[in-house]
Amino acid sequence: MRNRLGMTQEAVANASGGQLKREEVVKIESGTLQASSYKQRAGLVAAFGLDHGSLDAYLGGGLEIDGALKIIRERASTGERVVEREERYPNRARAIEMNKSRWSVETAEQLASVALKSDNDLSVPQWTQKGDAIEARVRGKAVGVVVDTTEDEFAEEAKLKKLRRGAKKR
Do 66 and 95 share a domain, yes or no?
A: no
For the chain, give the number of residues.
Answer: 170
For the segment 146-165, the average pLDDT, to the nearest whole number, is 59
Number of separate domains in the chain: 2
Q: What's the pLDDT at 147?
A: 45
Angle at CA of residue 143, ends 140 and 148, nearest 5°: 25
- Share of residues in the chain with pLDDT > 90 (%): 16
In a domain, 4, yes or no: no
Is pTM beyond 0.85? Reply is no
Terminal C-alpha separation, the chain? 58
3-class SS of residue 64: coil
- Report H helices in 16-123: 22-30, 38-48, 52-59, 65-78, 85-88, 90-99, 105-112
Q: What's the pLDDT at 145?
A: 45
pLDDT for 151 beyond 80: no
Report the C-alpha gap between 125 and 135 in whole angstroms. 15
In terms of residue numbers, what domain contains 155?
A: 86-169
